[in-house]
């Protein structure tokens, strides 16, 4: 196959061939690493099973406030891991971490429960793999970063776009080779409904769920038929809406692909403009601008109406003087300026030959499986060398904080300038008071200087 033939190929097989150049370095592990999982729901199991696929690990502990999910996960892990042993189970992460016998801890909880378990796992001597966004408020993220550095632990944030094979290829073959020329604008977006429309009835929590512990430091609000599992994202009490859920991924991806740090200024507008009768209190429409001076990264989400481009419902589009690069979890396409057909394109890497179980696993996002495996391989390499992973906690903190600040900007109705050196909004005390959410007693908010 010559180069011209290869560039015209848009099949998964062609992408698999090209992606082979980017497979993370493998390394020897002397003995199985002991693993604990906090949060055994959808993505908790999905991430854990990808780890089992790529490394000799022993899952010894599982924790969840939902006894049904916990029991099901324990059975599934026993069938997946080489030892066939059923892990110990806990309803309180603090009891699990008291054992101090874990090398790796996964924190796969709702967003309001990311900070405290991550910090305690770090203090217990574990390296941590934590879901995005790192926190629900800025000070939580600062405390998580401080804990990782103080205790010398590796913390990988699951912004796995940084490890997505076809996006690595797009970065290297389009952006790094300068095919776009000067880039002055990037659009990032999500036009999915995200489950926020409609009413959710208030109902009693199920008997198998410890709702008091599930709520934890968040405000106590009535339980609804959509609160758990997975529906909590429609409530701002537990996260940061669609900006905190989906923009974090795309912004982090753009920052990684273009080697960007902190934006100079952040502004956002929007609100609940159409789906006003929904139980959700997240915005159904929002625009956020992350201003890097000569480059503007602009986010849009809208949960109603038609999508501008159905091929790219959740995406990042890079506009350069020489062309346009469209990227998503499903594919990428590079268009030279003035051309309607892509010069380069790529699709997700499916590895069914190596991992046939991917084809039958319930709820697996199959197009993301290889990215999660590569993300784990990067994490394990960092753990072995005590280096920084590709989605180090500092990078996750920057991307998460930028999204939180966008929500604060939308709430206050003005732009914000972030003072990187002092970790505060410059000249805006009202905004600074919003960098920390109140914790519900008896939970105590973590402090960067006390971890």
Residue 300 lies in a domain: yes
Question: CA-based Rg of the chain, rounded to a whole angstrom?
Answer: 22
Give the whole-angstrom CA distance, residue 127 versus residue 206.
33
Same domain, 170 and 135: no
Q: Contacts from 326-333 at CB under 8 Å and sequence distance 24+?
A: 327/167, 327/170, 327/253, 327/257, 329/161, 329/164, 329/367, 329/368, 329/371, 330/367, 331/166, 332/166, 332/167, 332/169, 332/170, 332/174
CATH of the domain at 431: 3.30.360.10
Same domain, 75 and 166: no
Count of all residues that appear for the chain in the document: 451
pLDDT given for residue 18 in this prediction: 43
Q: Are residues 199 and 89 in the same domain?
A: no
d(CA 79, CA 65): 22
Same structural domain, 55 and 70: yes
State pLDDT tens for residues 102-117: 999 999 999 999 999 9
Which of residues 158, 185, 206 is at a domain's end?
Answer: 158
Please list the ranges in the chain whose pLDDT falls under 70.
1-30
Burial of 431 (0-12, 13-18, 19+ CB in 10 A): buried
9 within a domain of the structure (yes/no) = no
CA 136 distance to own-chain centroid: 13
Task: Return the sign of the alpha-carbon dihedral for residues 238, 240, 241, 246.
Answer: negative
Note whether 323 and 419 are same-domain residues: yes
Please answer whether residues 224 and 200 qualify as being in contact, where contact means their C-beta atoms are separated by less than 8 angstroms: yes
CATH code for the domain in which residue 127 is found = 3.40.50.720
| Among 363, 98, 116, CA closest to 107 | 116
- Which domain range does residue 103 map to? 23-158
Give the other-Cβ count within 10 Å of 335's Cβ: 17
Q: Is residue 372 part of a domain?
A: no
* Cα dihedral 440, 442, 448, 451 sign: negative
Has residue 271 been placed in a domain? yes
Is 304 a member of any domain? yes
* Pairing outcome for strands 88-90 and 57-63: parallel
Tell me whether residue 322 is in a domain.
yes
| Phi and psi torsions of 146, nearest 5° | -60, -40
User: How many structural domains does the chain have?
Assistant: 2
E strands present in 212-365: 265-271, 285-291, 296-302, 314-320, 323-328, 332-336, 344-346
Are 144 and 217 found together in one domain?
Answer: no
Residue 187, classed as helix, strand or coil, is strand
Last residue of a domain, one of 158, 179, 205: 158
> Are both 141 and 173 inside the same structural domain?
no
Is there a single domain that holds both residue 129 and residue 69?
Answer: yes
Q: What is the rounded CA–CA span in Å between residue 282 and residue 242?
A: 7
Q: What element of type H or E holds 359?
A: none
Instruction: Give the domain-ending residue among 90, 123, 158.
Output: 158
Does residue 128 share a domain with residue 175?
A: no
Task: Kindly report the pTM of this predicted structure.
Answer: 0.94
């Amino acid at each position: 196959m010559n180069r011209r033939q290869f560039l015209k190929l848009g099949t998964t097989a062609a992408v698999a061939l090209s992606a082979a150049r980017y497979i993370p370095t493998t390394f020897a592990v002397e003995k199985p690493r002991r693993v604990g999982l906090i949060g055994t729901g959808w993505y908790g199991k999905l991430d854990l099973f990808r780890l089992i696929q790529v490394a000799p690990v022993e899952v010894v502990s599982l924790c969840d406030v939902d006894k049904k999910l916990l029991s099901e996960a324990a059975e599934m892990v026993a069938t997946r891991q080489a030892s066939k042993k059923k892990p110990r189970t806990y309803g309180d992460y603090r009891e699990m971490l008291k054992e101090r016998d874990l090398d790796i801890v996964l924190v796969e909880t709702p967003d309001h429960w990311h900070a405290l378990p991550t910090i305690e796992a770090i203090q217990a001597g574990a390296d941590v793999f934590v879901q995005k966004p790192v926190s629900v408020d800025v000070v939580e993220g600062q405390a998580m970063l401080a804990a990782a550095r103080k205790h010398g632990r590796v913390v990988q944030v699951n912004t796995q776009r940084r490890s997505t094979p076809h996006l690595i290829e797009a970065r290297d073959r389009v952006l790094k080779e300068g095919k776009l020329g000067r880039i002055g604008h990037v659009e990032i977006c999500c036009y999915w409904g995200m489950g926020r429309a409609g009413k959710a009835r208030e109902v009693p929590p199920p008997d198998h769920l410890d709702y008091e512990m599930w709520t934890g430091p968040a405000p106590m609000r009535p339980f609804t038929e959509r609160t758990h599992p997975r529906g909590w994202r429609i409530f701002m009490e537990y996260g940061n809406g669609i900006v905190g859920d989906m923009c974090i991924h795309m912004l982090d991806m753009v920052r990684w692909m273009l080697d960007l740090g902190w934006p100079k200024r952040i502004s956002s507008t929007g609100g609940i403009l159409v789906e006003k009768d929904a139980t959700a209190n997240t915005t159904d429409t929002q625009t956020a601008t992350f201003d890097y001076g000569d480059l503007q990264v602009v986010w849009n989400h809208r949960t109603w109406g038609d999508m501008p481009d159905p091929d790219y419902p959740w995406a990042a589009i890079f506009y350069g003087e020489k062309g346009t690069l469209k990227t998503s979890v499903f594919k990428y396409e590079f268009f030279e300026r003035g051309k309607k057909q892509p010069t380069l394109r790529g699709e997700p890497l499916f590895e069914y030959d190596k991992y046939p179980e991917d084809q039958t696993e319930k709820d697996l996002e199959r197009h993301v499986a290889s990215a999660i495996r590569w993300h784990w391989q990067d994490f394990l390499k960092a753990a072995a060398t005590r280096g920084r992973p590709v989605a180090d906690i500092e990078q996750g903190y920057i991307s998460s904080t930028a999204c939180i600040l966008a929500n604060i900007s939308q709430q206050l109705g003005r732009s914000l300038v972030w003072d990187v050196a002092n970790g505060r909004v410059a000249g805006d005390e009202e905004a600074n008071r919003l960098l920390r959410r109140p914790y519900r007693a008896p939970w105590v908010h973590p402090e960067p200087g006390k971890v």
